[in-house]
Every structure is written in structure tokens, then in C-alpha cells.
């Protein structure tokens, strides 16, 4: 196995973990009343998401670096990266910021309830990112 193949596998693994985490969080968020147990679960999912994003960024940089001119001129790739960043801004820059500002667990639960649709949008964007990644791989 070549190094590039290993990087692609690690990148796909990071994407699978990320998508699985946000899917599971979405299912739990839609099927349960948000409470303190769900909040503990959400905090765990946030850590898993963070580490999967770190893996995706690291492997992505290593995959793109050898042919960066081609990628940076590719509208599909730039769209994928833009959607990835937008999803992060929504999830961490908006919702995550509000959760960190909340002073108590009930306030944090209220933030998740209020911003649930934004988190759903962020998750949807990640699915689009994954689909674009598959398209980029297949070309």
C-alpha cells in the first residue's frame, strides 16, 4: 500500500466518524427530550467530532499538498472546502459559542433546543461535503 492510499483511507475514516457522530447526535436530538444526560452525550459527540475534523484536515492537507495548484483551481474542491468551513462556523462559531456562554446545564440545553435547526443545516452541509469528496475522488 502506498502512502497516498493510506492517507485516503484515513481521510475516509475521519469522514465516516464525523458523519456517524453528527447523524447519531441528530437522531438522539430528534428522538429524545433534551436533558442533562443528552447534554453529556452531546459533549462527548463534540469531542469525537473535533478529533475527526483534526484527522480530516491533517490528511486533507497531506493529500492536496502534492497537487495544490490543481486543487486550488478546482471549483468543485473549493465549493467542498467552503461548505466544510461554513458547517464549522455554524456548529462551533454560532451554536458552540452560545453553548459555551451558557452558565448552567439547563441554559446549555436551551441553546441546543433553540439552535437545533442550525445544527441540522450544519449536518446537511457535511453530507454535501462528503458527496463532493466522493465526486472528486471518482474523477
CA distances from 105 to 10, 24, 31, 95, 111 (A): 35, 21, 20, 15, 10
In whole angstroms, give the CA distance from residue 124 to residue 126: 5
* Total structural domains within the chain: 1
Instruction: Report, as an integer, the average pLDDT of 49-64.
Output: 95
- Name the average pLDDT for the chain: 89
Neighbours of 20 (CB within 10 A): 14
pLDDT of residue 24: 85
Q: Which of the four pLDDT bands, split at 50, 70 and 90, describes residue 76? A: very high
On the question of pLDDT at 121 being above 90, the answer is yes
pLDDT of residue 64: 94
Contact 133/94 with Cβ under 8 angstroms? no
Q: Which residues constitute the domain of residue 24?
A: 3-138
Helix (H) or strand (E) holding 107: helix 105-114
On the question of pLDDT at 33 being above 70, the answer is no
pLDDT of residue 48: 92
Instruction: Report, as an integer, the average pLDDT of 38-58.
Output: 88
What predicted TM-score, i.e. pTM, was given to this entire model? 0.86
pLDDT of residue 34: 65
Nearest to 127 by CA among 41, 21, 31: 21
In whole angstroms, give the CA distance from residue 1 to residue 16: 21
In whole angstroms, give the CA distance from residue 20 to residue 26: 10
Question: Lowest-pLDDT range, 13-17, 35-39, 84-88?
Answer: 35-39
pLDDT of residue 20: 92
Instruction: Report, as an integer, the average pLDDT of 94-100.
Output: 91
Contact 122/94 with Cβ under 8 angstroms? no
pLDDT of residue 27: 79
In whole angstroms, give the CA distance from residue 92 to residue 46: 9
pLDDT of residue 62: 95
Neighbours of 134 (CB within 10 A): 11
The length of the chain in residues reads 139
Amino acid at each position: 500500500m502506498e502512502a497516498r492510499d493510506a492517507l485516503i483511507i484515513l481521510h475516509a475514516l475521519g469522514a465516516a466518524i464525523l458523519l456517524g457522530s453528527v447523524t447519531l447526535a441528530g437522531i438522539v436530538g430528534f428522538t429524545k427530550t433534551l436533558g442533562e444526560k443528552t447534554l453529556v452525550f452531546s459533549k462527548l459527540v463534540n469531542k469525537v467530532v473535533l478529533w475527526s475534523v483534526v484527522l480530516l484536515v491533517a490528511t486533507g492537507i497531506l493529500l492536496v499538498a502534492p497537487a495544490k495548484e490543481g486543487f486550488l483551481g478546482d471549483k468543485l474542491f473549493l465549493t467542498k472546502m467552503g461548505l466544510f468551513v461554513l458547517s464549522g462556523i455554524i456548529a462551533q462559531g454560532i451554536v458552540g459559542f452560545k453553548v459555551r456562554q451558557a452558565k448552567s446545564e439547563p441554559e446549555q440545553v436551551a441553546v441546543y433546543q433553540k439552535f437545533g435547526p442550525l445544527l441540522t443545516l450544519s449536518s446537511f452541509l457535511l453530507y454535501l461535503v462528503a458527496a463532493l469528496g466522493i465526486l472528486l475522488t471518482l474523477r
